[in-house]
Chain A
Amino acid sequence: MTAGTVVDGKPANERERRMRGRNRALLALLLALVALFYVVTLVRISGG
């Protein structure tokens, strides 16, 4: 898709930029949750 293409009334690059931002935030959130659950499990197992 070339720059300046319009999809559904919005520039495609704007839609892609927002989608990329949401995807990255979701990835960061999921990784953080995995790390959090891992640490919490270790603490609970050790009787914390």
Chain B
Amino acid sequence: MSEIPATSVASYAGAAVGDYIQILKPRVMSLVVFTGVVGLVMAPGHLHPVLAVVAVLCIAVGAGASGAINMWYDRDIDAVMRRTAMRPLPAGRMMPGEALGFGVVLAVGSVAVMGLAVNWVAAQLLALTIVFYVFVYTVWLKRRTPQNIVVGGAAGALPPLIGWAAVTGDVGWGAVALFAIVFFWTPPHFWALSLYRAGEYAAAGVPMLPVVAGARETKRQMLIYTLTLWPASLMPWLLGLAGPWYAVCAGALSLSFTGAAIRVWRDDSEKSARQMFAFSLLYLFLIFTLLLVDRIGGGLA
């Protein structure tokens, strides 16, 4: 990893508060928090509302810490890609050490508070998520293999388990079902993005699947992963966590997602990939919202 001589110490005015917020990747954090909340709500049992808020806060801060450490490590490739070039580190608004220190303090703090205030199973899962995202995905896999986001996607799929464990103190099959949905959703989601950003990834030396194996192979694997989402999205219903209306809606959404993958397969332009990326976000949001509504409403049927 090369150093970015974007900022000299002499001319450095210090990062603004907004820069500290930006390195927490608030958009990624919002998705992580949402899936964590659903895990928390779906879990059998009761958690005091204050402790539930603390658990969600710890998940959010832990995710932000992972993002900050990721930005510290990836500052060289972020500087190359148009999408990430204006982040605080490559833009020279923040010193690398500040980002690393900020991330490590938040990571340790979020795990410690989760353990002391909620329970240590949830804290261990949060620690596992941070360690997995930083060391397995960011440091080990991201620059080495086109399967980076498949294996690394496990880190993004863990928050529902953390939410679940915050309530129950263990990991049940329902939590595994939520994990599976996010895990199998991640590859088609990121590969849709990388299809129309392949040039930037290639320039940065990141071996995303379209760069290494080409668009055709990427589209084939995207289609396969949308098919694996069929059983994964129906698992909550099969396990009795959600009612038949959830199953019908989840089935329809998975059918639409597969339809989007087929459109990407047939279309050589960027348009369908962009549409699929947007739809993938909507898909996950709706699946988890349906679970939430089904649970709070005591079953839609």
Find the A residue at minimum CB distance from B13: A10
Among candidates B13, B17, B54, residue contacting A36 with C-beta atoms closer than 8 Å: B54
Residue A34 at the B interface, CB < 8 A?
no
B16 CB-CB contact with A under 8 Å? yes
> Which one, B16, B48, B50, B57, contacts A21 given CB within 8 A?
B16
Closest chain B residue to A32 by CB distance? B57
* Alpha-carbon gap, A8 to B117, bound state (A): 45
What distance in Å separates the Cβ of A6 from its nearest Cβ neighbour in chain B?
Answer: 10
Residues of chain B lying within 8 A (CB to CB) of residue A15? 13-14
**Residue in contact with A18 in the complex, picked from B11, B14, B54, B117, CB distance below 8 Å:** B14
Fill in one digit per residue for B122-143: 1 if any A CB lies within 8 Å of its CB, else 0.
0000000000000000000000
- Return the contact of B17 from the options A14, A25, A39, A48 (Cβ within 8 A): A25
> Are the CB atoms of A8 and B14 closer together than 8 Å?
no
**Cross-chain contact B14 with A48 (CB below 8 angstroms):** no
Category for how many chain A residues contact B: 10 to 19
A9 CB contacts on chain B under 8 angstroms: 10-11
Q: How far is the CB of A41 from chain B (nearest CB, A)?
A: 9
Q: Give the one of B13, B20, B51 with max A CB within 10 A.
A: B13
Q: Which residues of A contact B57 (CB under 8 A)?
A: 36
Does B249 have its Cβ within 8 Å of any Cβ on chain A?
no
Q: Is B15 an interface residue (CB 8 A)?
A: yes
Q: Does the CB pair A48–B13 fall under 8 Å? A: no
Q: Whole-angstrom distance from the CB of A8 to the nearest CB of chain B?
A: 5
A30 on the interface (CB 8 Å rule)?
Answer: no
State the CA gap A36–B16 with chains docked (Å).
Answer: 25
Smallest Cβ-Cβ distance to B117: which chain A residue: A40
Other A-B pairs beyond A8-B10, A36-B57, A48-B51, 15, CB < 8 Å: A8-B12, A10-B13, A14-B13, A15-B14, A18-B15, A19-B14, A21-B16, A22-B15, A22-B16, A25-B17, A36-B54, A40-B51, A40-B117, A43-B50, A44-B117
Which residues of A are interface residues toward B (Cβ below 8 A)?
A: 8-10, 14-15, 18-19, 21-22, 25, 36, 39-40, 43-44, 48
